[in-house]
């Protein structure tokens, strides 16, 4: 059974930093796409924040480029999202997700999801 467990969400002031973690277990394949997504209150759909493939290739939403960094540990069991210079519009529930690898990790649906971790940004 594949499980994803996020942590690290917190309340920070504008301009602050947070690092989110997502521990993955039970995934049986060596190839994958992983990503961070977020959903703000009142937003109907989750939006992509950053994705990373098993080869380390990353993609970011334009709104977070230069401020957020997605990475994984050497064992590839934990996904991270380093968020710097947080803005109020970054407040949301953040989810990590996983699926089999495809050429473009940014596109398409994801199979496995965590329960989310809440990020609050105050001005």
Both tokens of residue 122?
């105050």
Q: Which of 90, 97, 6, 112 is nearest to 43 (CA)?
A: 90
Q: What are phi and psi of 90, to 5 degrees?
A: -85, -5
* Average pLDDT of the segment spanning 83-108: 94
Residue 114's contacts (CB-CB under 8 Å, 6 or more residues apart) are 4, 5, 6, 22, 95, 96, 97
pLDDT (average), residues 17-25: 98
pLDDT tens-digit readout, 24-47: 999 988 899 999 999 998 999 999
Q: Which residue has the tokens 């710097």?
A: 84
């Amino acid at each position: 059974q594949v499980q994803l467990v996020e942590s690290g969400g917190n309340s920070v002031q504008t301009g602050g930093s947070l690092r989110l973690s997502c521990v993955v277990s039970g995934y049986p394949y060596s190839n994958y796409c992983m990503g961070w997504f977020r959903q703000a209150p009142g937003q109907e759909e989750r939006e992509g924040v950053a994705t990373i493939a098993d080869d380390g290739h990353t993609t970011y939403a334009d709104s977070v480029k230069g401020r957020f960094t997605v990475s994984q540990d050497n064992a590839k069991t934990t996904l991270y999202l380093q968020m710097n210079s947080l803005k109020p519009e970054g407040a949301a529930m953040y989810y990590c997700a996983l699926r089999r690898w495809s050429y473009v990790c940014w596109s398409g649906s994801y199979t496995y999801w965590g329960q989310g971790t809440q990020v609050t940004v105050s001005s």
